[in-house]
Structure formats: C-alpha cells, structure tokens
C-alpha cells in the first residue's frame, strides 16, 4: 500500500527519536508527509539524526529534553507546538533496560528504568492530550515490549516497567476514546538495535527497527471507525 503523503499537514512527536526504533518511526512518519519532532538527551545524536532526515526531504525539529523531568517536558511540548503546531501523533518510544537478578539491582536502577519507560509516558501524554481533546482527534502510540507479556530471569525491573506500560495504555485508551483519540501499544520482541547485547543471535533474523515503524504507520492510517489496541510482533524465524 502506498502511504506517501497520507500524513501531509500532520505533526508527530517521537520520544527517543535519535536512533534505533525511534529514528525508524520518525523517518517513516516523515516519508508519509508528517512534520516530525524528535527528542532525546543527546544533542549530537539528535542533530545527526535530524540531518539525515532532512536529506530525505523530511521537515524535522530536534529539541533536547530529559523526559523523566516534568519541567523539561513542559518546555519541550511548548517548544514543539510553537515550532510545528498541535501534536496530532505522539509516539512514546524512549526506553532503557537494566537487567540482572533483582537482589543485585539498586534503587537507582529501579528509578532510572521506571522513570524512563513508564513515568515519562504519563508526563508527556498528559501535556499533549488537552489539545487532542480540543480537536477531538489524535493518536498516542506507546512502544512497549513482549516483556510486558512475559517474564524472564534478570528482567524484573524492565518487565515491571513494560507490564505497567500496557496497563497504562489500556486505561488511557478507555479515558480518551470518546474524544476520538486512539491509544495503542506495540509490543515487539527483540529488535536489532544497540539497546541491549544480542550475543549468539543472528541479528538478520531479528525484528528490525523498520518493522516497528511499519506497525506505527498502519495504526495511524486506520479508518476512523475503529482502532487497534495492541500489536504483538515477532520475527518470522527465531534468531
């Protein structure tokens, strides 16, 4: 299906958009015609990503922000709306992973993962939602993980963040559907990025960032009478 220009005139914001899955999502939305804001903590990474996107003709804005801090998020959303206009597509993609047996982890480990993977979604979304309510339309897509559906040794903090994110996503969807706002979660398995080591795995058989971006594109081009609450993604072959 040709999706070129299907988002012309729309504004999207992708958190953690400087690399990996976030960059692939921003690129896909931009190629579909959207103006895209990408944010993150690393200015050089963001600037490099923005330059690559502009070469492809994508209009991009790349402000630096730490989305675990409410004051920085308020400044970020205000800045994006001044630069691009109302945020009509929000992709909460930023995430980190700290792994290991629970008894070996620290309170700081817990706070870092939960604040980035879960709290930030609450903080960013609640500032973007009022304008979506005013316009009675919008998409919020939360990038979760199959770790939000299962457990594994050493994954306690990460799994807790992603299970929590799925619960939050479901409740947001119920809160907002009557306003014409569609909230969805995407749960990929392991994706071939530098997010975590993939020792012993064939990365060519893993999910690719572009696979997740394809799912985002499908969600934001769905007919208006319905929405997909959750997408689970797995590679065709086990790596």
Catalytic residue numbers? 158
Instruction: List the helix and strand counts (H, then E) for the chain.
Output: 7, 7
Nearest to 24 by CA among 44, 52, 61: 52
36: phi then psi, degrees, rounded to nearest 5: -125, 135
Q: Is the backbone of residue 213 left (phi > 0), alpha (psi -120 to 50) or beta?
A: alpha
H/E element, 48: helix 43-55
226 is written with which tokens? 């319905």
Parallel, antiparallel or unpaired: strands 138-143 and 60-61: unpaired
224 is written with which tokens? 């208006």
């Amino acid at each position: 299906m040709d999706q070129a220009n299907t988002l012309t005139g729309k504004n999207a914001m992708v958190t953690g958009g400087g690399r990996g899955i976030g960059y692939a999502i921003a690129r896909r939305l931009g190629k579909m015609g959207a103006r895209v804001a990408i944010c993150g903590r690393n200015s050089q990474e963001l600037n490099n990503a923005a330059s690559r996107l502009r070469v492809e003709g994508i209009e991009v804005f790349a402000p630096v922000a730490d989305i675990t801090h409410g004051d920085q998020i308020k400044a970020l959303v205000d800045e994006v709306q001044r630069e691009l206009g109302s945020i009509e597509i929000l992709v909460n993609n930023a995430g980190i992973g700290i792994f290991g047996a629970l008894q070996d982890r620290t309170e700081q480990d817990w706070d870092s993962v939960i604040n980035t993977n879960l709290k930030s979604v609450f903080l960013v979304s609640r500032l973007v939602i009022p304008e979506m309510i005013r316009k009675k339309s919008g998409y919020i897509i939360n990038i979760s993980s199959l770790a939000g559906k299962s457990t594994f040794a050493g994954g306690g903090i990460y799994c807790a963040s992603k299970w929590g994110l799925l619960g939050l996503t479901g409740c947001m969807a119920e809160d907002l559907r009557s306003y014409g706002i569609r909230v969805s979660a995407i749960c990929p398995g392991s994706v071939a990025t530098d997010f975590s080591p993939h020792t012993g795995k064939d990365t060519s058989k893993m999910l690719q960032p572009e696979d997740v971006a394809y799912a985002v594109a499908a969600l934001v081009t769905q007919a208006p009478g319905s929405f997909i609450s959750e997408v689970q993604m797995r590679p065709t072959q086990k790596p």
